[in-house]
Every structure is written in C-alpha cells, then in structure tokens.
Amino acid sequence: MDETRIIPIRQNIAAFLKAAGIRDVIARKVREIETAAVAAADPGHGQFRTDLAEEGARARGAVMGDYATSDPEASRRALLRGLEGGAG
C-alpha cells in the first residue's frame, strides 16, 4: 500500500490561523482537550493549564502538563488521553 505524504504549505497554515472565527474554534478545542485530560488523569491529579493567545491576527492554543504530579510520564499519558478525547 502506498504511503500518503503530507507536505504542509506554511502560507495556507498561516492563512487558516488568521481566518475569521478560528480563535473561537481553537479556544473550544483546547478547553475540550483540557477537560478530557483532567478526566483521564490519575486520581488526585489533573491540574492542567490552558494557554490561549492572539498574536496579531493569528491565534494559538495549548494545554500544558499535569502540575499535580511530579511524574512526567503520568502527565504525558493523561495529556495524550486528553488529546484523544478532544479529537473530532
């Protein structure tokens, strides 16, 4: 089976990030991922941070690791499960 290779076109990505309404979409998806990551975290953990920013017309968002645990692997697992929960 042939592998599909995706080649990102930076201009198109930049235009997408500047599109009207994209900040709201990014904010909604980042919050969904954060909520899913908290739910996926080990009991007693689940302290994630959300960062939303606009740089000029461009929007970006991030969910940062579990600050309630000192185990980076536990934080990584919960964040990856959160990404799966925020997909779609």
Q: What span, in angstroms and rounded, lies between the C-alpha atoms of 27 and 25?
A: 5
Sequence letter at residue 65: G
Q: Which of 47, 48, 54 is nearest to 24 (CA)?
A: 54
What pLDDT, on a 0 to 100 scale, did the predictor assign at position 16?
Answer: 84
pLDDT tens-place string over residues 57-85: 777 888 887 788 888 888 888 778 777 76
Ranges of each domain in the chain: 22-87
Q: For residue 28, is pLDDT > 80?
A: yes
Q: What span, in angstroms and rounded, lies between the C-alpha atoms of 53 and 40?
A: 25
Alpha-carbon separation of residue 71 from 9, 13, 49, 67, 76 (angstroms): 37, 34, 16, 9, 9
